[in-house]
Structure 1
Amino acid sequence: MATGRDGHVILGINVLTLGYLPAAWQTDLLTPLSPLEPAYWRRIGELAERGTLDAIFLADGSQLGDPTYDGNAPRLDPTIAWSWVARSTRRVGLIATASTTFNDPYELAERLLSFDVVSGGRAAWNVVTSRDQGSANNFGLTDVLGREERYDRASEFVDLVIELWNSAASGRDVTHHGRFFDVEGRLTVPPSKQGRPVLFQAGGSPQGRALAGRVGEGVFAAELTLESALEHYREVKQNAIDFGRSPDDVKILPGLLLTLGSTEEEARRRSDELHDLGPASYSTQWLSQAIGFDVSTLPLDERFPDELLDGPLDTTTFRGSIGFRQSIFERIRQTRPTVREYLRETRYTGSGHGGFVGTPEQLVDRIEHWFRAGAIDGFNLQPDRLIDGLEVIADEVVPLLRRRGLFRHEYETETLRGHFAASSATPVLR
Structure 2
Amino acid sequence: MATRAGRPGQLHLNAFLLSVGHHEAAWRLPESDPYADADVEHFRNLARIAEGGRLDSVFLADSPVLWSSVARRPATALEPTLLLAAIAATTSRIGLIATASTTYNEPYNLARRFASLDHISGGRAGWNIVTTAGLDAARNFNLDSLPAHRERYERAAEFVEVSRKLWDSWADDAVLADKTAGVWGDDSRIHPPAHTGRFYQVAGALNVSRSPQGHPVLVQAGSSENGREFAARYAEAVFTAHQSLAVAREFHQDLKRRAQRHGRDPASIKVLPGIVPILGGTEAQARAYAEELGELIKPEYALPQLADLLGVGTEELHLDRELPANLPSENEIEGAKSRRTLVVELARRERLTVRALIVRLGGGRGHYTVAGTPEQVADLITDWYDAGAADGFNVMPAVLPRGLTEFVDQVLPILRDRGLFRTEYTGRTLRDHYGLPRPAPHRSTTAPDVRELVTGPATR
> Is TM > 0.5 for Structure 1 vs Structure 2?
yes
1:139 equivalent among 138, 141, 155: 141
RMSD: 2.4
> Cα deviation per residue 1:293-322 (whole Å; 9 max; x = unaligned)?
3576356666545543xx63344xx24311
Alignment of 1:383-422 (within 5 A): 383-421=397-435
Q: Normalising by structure 2, what TM-score? A: 0.84
> Cα deviation per residue 1:338-393 (whole Å; 9 max; x = unaligned)?
55554555568x55222111121111111000000001001101111122111111
3-state secondary structure, aligned to 1:386: coil
Q: Distance in 1 between matches of 2:424 and 2:318?
A: 52
3-state secondary structure, aligned to 1:82: helix
Q: Which amino acid in structure 2 is aligned with residue 87 of structure 1?
A: A
- Whose radius of gyration is greater, 1 or 2? 2
Aligned partner of 2:260 in structure 1 is 241
Aligned partner of 1:321 in structure 2 is 336
- Alignment check: 8 A CA contact 1:133 1:143 kept: yes
Post-superposition offset of 1:59: 1.2
Post-superposition offset of 1:258: 2.7
3-state secondary structure, aligned to 2:25: helix
Q: Distance in 2 between matches of 1:266 and 1:372?
A: 28
Aligned partner of 2:329 in structure 1 is 312
1:172 equivalent among 177, 182, 191: 191
1:277 equivalent among 296, 299, 303: 296
Alignment of 1:68-147 (within 5 A): 71-147=73-149
- Alignment check: 8 A CA contact 2:18 2:60 kept: yes
Q: Which amino acid in structure 2 is aligned with residue 16 of structure 1?
A: L
Aligned partner of 1:184 in structure 2 is 203
Aligned-pair identity in percent equals 41
3-state secondary structure, aligned to 1:180: coil
Post-superposition offset of 1:278: 3.0
Distance 1:261 1:105, change over 3 A: same
Q: Distance in 1 between matches of 2:354 and 2:28?
A: 28
Q: Distance in 1 between matches of 2:309 and 2:136?
A: 16
- Alignment check: 8 A CA contact 1:204 1:321 kept: no
Q: Distance in 2 between matches of 1:138 and 1:92?
A: 33
- Alignment check: 8 A CA contact 2:27 2:74 kept: no
Aligned partner of 2:20 in structure 1 is 18
1:370 equivalent among 384, 393, 410: 384
- Alignment check: 8 A CA contact 2:56 2:430 kept: yes
Aligned partner of 2:220 in structure 1 is 201
- Is the aligned partner of 1:256 residue 2:275? yes
Post-superposition offset of 1:184: 1.0
Distance 1:69 1:290, change over 3 A: farther
Post-superposition offset of 1:202: 0.4
Distance 1:346 1:111, change over 3 A: closer
Aligned partner of 1:426 in structure 2 is none
- Alignment check: 8 A CA contact 2:12 2:393 kept: yes
- Alignment check: 8 A CA contact 1:110 1:187 kept: yes
Post-superposition offset of 1:148: 2.0
Aligned partner of 1:267 in structure 2 is 286
- Alignment check: 8 A CA contact 1:16 1:59 kept: yes
- Count the aligned residue pairs: 417
Where do 5+ consecutive residues of structure 1 fail to align? 424-430
> Cα deviation per residue 1:135-169 (whole Å; 9 max; x = unaligned)?
22222322232222211111111111111112133
Aligned partner of 2:244 in structure 1 is 225
> Cα deviation per residue 1:61-105 (whole Å; 9 max; x = unaligned)?
212111489634111010111111111111111000000011010
3-state secondary structure, aligned to 1:254: strand
Structure number with higher helix proportion? 1
Aligned partner of 1:61 in structure 2 is 63
**More displaced stretch, 162-171 vs 327-336:** 327-336
Aligned partner of 1:359 in structure 2 is 373
- Alignment check: 8 A CA contact 1:260 1:359 kept: yes
3-state secondary structure, aligned to 1:131: coil
Post-superposition offset of 1:252: 0.4
3-state secondary structure, aligned to 1:257: strand
Q: Distance in 1 between matches of 2:296 and 2:6?
A: 45
1:34 equivalent among 22, 33, 36: 36
3-state secondary structure, aligned to 2:343: helix
Q: Distance in 2 between matches of 1:168 and 1:70?
A: 46
**More displaced stretch, 329-338 vs 241-250:** 329-338
> Cα deviation per residue 1:91-135 (whole Å; 9 max; x = unaligned)?
111000000011010110011011011101110000001222222
Post-superposition offset of 1:246: 0.3
